[in-house]
Amino acid sequence: MRYALIVIPLLLLPVLLNDFWLTQVMTRALILGIVALSLSFLAKYLGVVSFAQAAMAGAGGYTIAYFGPNSVNIGIELPFWISIPLALFLATAFGGLIGCVARRSRGIYAIMITLAIGIAFFYFTRQNYALFNGWTGFSGVRAPLIGGISLRAPVPLYFMSLLSAVVSMMLVSGFARSPMGLAIQAVRDAPGRVMALGISVSTPIIAAFAFSGLLAGTGGILNVWYQERISSFSVGFGPIIDILIIAVIGGLRYPSGAFIGAIVFVMLDTFAVDLVDRERFNTLIGTVLLLIVIFAPNGLQQLVMDGAAKLRRAKQPTN
Amino acid sequence: MTFFFIVTLNGLTLAALYFLAASGFSLIFGLMRIVNMAHGALLMLGGYVGYSVVDMTGSWSIGVIAGGLAAAAAGAIVQAGVLGWMQGDELRQTLASIAISIIMADLMLWYWGGITYQVELPEALSGGLRLPLLGVGYANIRLALIGFALVTGLALWIFIQKTRMGAIIRAGVDDQQMLRALGYPINRIFILVFALGGMLAGMAGVIAASALSIAPGTDLQFLLSSLVVVIVGGMGSVGGAALGALLVGLAEQYGLAYAPTYGVVFTFAIMVLVLAVRPQGLLGRAEQ
């Protein structure tokens, strides 16, 4: 019921908004939200803040670009019903692989290791021309045509992103309640006890990273269709930090916060020109992040919930 | 064979630079458990200030000192103004330092622009030297790097192991609560250590800007190298930073010379290997 209240207005948006708002703001926020969701999932259920999400999204995006129609003549063109599952699979596998590398590290160590992985991936895509086409990357990537309608057209892309976002949210809450999801949370809370029960600690960690790779890969595929290109800059330090900022603004511990953060981020990014000099966007977003970290460490979602609780208390008669 | 020796020498000089950059990062992490993501930005600030001062005064040593002092002041402000208020909440400190590094990098881009700068070297360090045995020329500044790293490493080791202040810092690493209970002003010690870490970063920045060059993105490059160096070598130990820098520097140069497209992969493979065998780093102590 609560979800219907959120989803039904979102379904009506294409009627209300023009193409600019629908594509540049809403679709973009949904796509960024899905990638940020992959981070909030890890932060909430595994207790690991990962900086490798842009790399996982990049794995999905690069696969679509390599095996899809592009204008740089690199890669093999496969039909979309093969390339999409392949991209999702590779992103998931890459997520699992990252989990495998980082499985023995926790807390700040995990931050450092995933950051090192993320940046190493960025430098690797820059240096490698056979698979990633180096610095320039892929351009002219076209989204699939289904029944003569391009998925890149504003309304289909919006619905595709909305559907992916809803499915991702459902997957997260379903996965968290599954036996594997519970094992992941047990590893977060008491790895020693999990080991004492004879359950391997590595498997849940790798599974959590793989699942997060699936989410990030979904966002990565949509992002390639949206941007119509992908290059080393799509997986560089900028995107890594953007994803983190989105998740932190929304609240790292709230999966739905990822989408709130994404909307705020996209609005700032789109309309910062009116507030400050376009060139100084990083100073603005850095300041926003700093203020959030100082004054609302649990993000906007928590702020809204606290506010609502206060209102409710104020409404109750106090006698 | 000559080629191999040259590559090895390149690796050693790069390792020296990496050690200079990573030592401050490792020091701050060792005492305060803060992953200072603004370390690269502090290094870049030092480099830019050093460039401007050398440009103005014409003296390289004043430039190095000015770069170090500027970064030390910035580091102290960061700790006193922001990170100190979040003591004990490591994730929040990390996030705050990221925010600070974004703001700093953007403001530096504003002030100094997107141009690549190289600090002008003093006469003694510019030019080259014909190496004995190998019979090839080699830049003086790159050889001097090894000297700088040795001096810095030794000074840092003496400071931490042999002085009273160093003993207090080591006590803080082992048991912060106890040190506080004994009446030491731990907040001031933290600010001091942050300033010291910033100074090391700033001086490394000027030296990096002299030996190589400095441009937007330099901060990220050295943040990554510092991260990998301390992950490989072990957090918070001078020896660990030195060993990590040596491995990473050599791996990068051999990779560049023998497998140019996969240079990064070598560095990365070392990190993965070390993590698989010793998650706390080669010379690091295991976390309780």
pLDDT tens over chain B, length 288 residues: 788 888 898 899 999 999 999 999 988 887 777 888 999 999 999 999 999 999 999 889 999 999 999 999 999 999 999 988 887 788 889 899 999 999 999 999 999 988 899 888 887 777 777 777 667 777 888 888 899 999 999 998 898 889 998 888 888 777 878 888 998 888 888 899 999 999 999 999 999 999 888 998 888 889 888 888 988 888 777 888 899 999 999 988 888 888 776 777 788 778 878 877 887 788 877 654
Interface of A with B in 22-51 (CB under 8 A): 49
Please give, rounded to a whole number of angstroms, the shortest distance from the CA of A228 to a CA of chain B: 26
Interface contact A116-B228, CB threshold 8 A? yes
Q: Give the Cα separation of A254 and A252 in Å (integer).
A: 6
Residue B281 makes CB contacts below 8 A (sequence gap 6+) with B230, B231, B232, B233, B234, B235, B240, B244, B274
Interface contact A290-B105, CB threshold 8 A? no
Contact A120/B at CB under 8 A: yes
Interface test with B, best of A104, A109, A245 (most B CBs within 10 A): A109
What CATH number should be reported for the domain holding residue A29?
1.10.3470
Please give, rounded to a whole number of angstroms, the shortest distance from the CA of B276 to a CA of chain A: 7
Encode burial over B109-130: b for 16+ CB neighbours within 10 A, e otherwise. Answer: beebeeeebebebbeebeeeee
Task: Please report, as a single letter, which amino acid is at residue B7.
Answer: V
Contact A3/B at CB under 8 A: no
**How many C-beta atoms surround the C-beta of residue A98 within 10 A?**
26
In a domain, B127, yes or no: yes
Query: In the structure, what pLDDT confidence band is assigned to residue A43 with cuts at 50, 70 and 90?
Result: very high
Contact A112/B at CB under 8 A: yes
Of all residues in chain A, the one with the smallest CA distance to B227 is A112
* pLDDT over 90 percentage in chain A: 48
How many folded domains does chain A comprise? Answer: 1
Contact (Cβ atoms closer than 8 angstroms) between residue B205 and residue B44: yes
In a domain, B99, yes or no: yes
In a domain, B281, yes or no: no
Interface test with B, best of A39, A115, A277 (most B CBs within 10 A): A115
In a domain, B247, yes or no: no
Q: Which of A105, A123, A286 sits opposite B99 (nearest CB)?
A: A286
Give me the phi and psi of B129, to 5 degrees please. -140, 135
**How many C-beta atoms surround the C-beta of residue A146 within 10 A?**
12
In a domain, B288, yes or no: no
Encode burial over B205-242: b for 16+ CB neighbours within 10 A, e otherwise. Answer: bbbbbbbbebbbbbbbbbbbbbbbbbbbbbbbbbebbb
Query: What SS3 state is found at A146?
Result: strand
Interface test with A, best of B37, B87, B103, B109 (most A CBs within 10 A): B103
Beta pairing partners, B129: B138
Interface contact B98-A116, CB threshold 8 A? no
Residue B288's pLDDT is 42
Give the domain range for residue A73.
2-315
How many folded domains does chain B comprise? Answer: 1
In a domain, B173, yes or no: yes
Q: Which of A104, A116, A297 sits opposite B279 (nearest CB)?
A: A104
Q: Give the Cα separation of A67 and A178 in Å (integer).
A: 33
The pLDDT tens digits of the residues spanning A175-222 come to 999 999 999 999 999 988 999 988 889 999 999 999 999 999 999 999
List chain A residues with CB under 8 Å of B94: 49, 108, 111
Beta pairing partners, A146: A149
In a domain, B28, yes or no: yes
Give the domain range for residue B31.
2-215
In a domain, B100, yes or no: yes
The pLDDT tens digits of the residues spanning A262-275 come to 999 999 888 877 77
Interface test with A, best of B94, B219, B266 (most A CBs within 10 A): B94
Chain center to CA of A113: 19
Average pLDDT, chain A: 89
Interface contact A119-B220, CB threshold 8 A? yes
Contact A295/B at CB under 8 A: no
Give me the phi and psi of A149, to 5 degrees please. -105, 125
User: What is the enclosing helix (H) or strand (E) of A30?
Assistant: helix A28-41
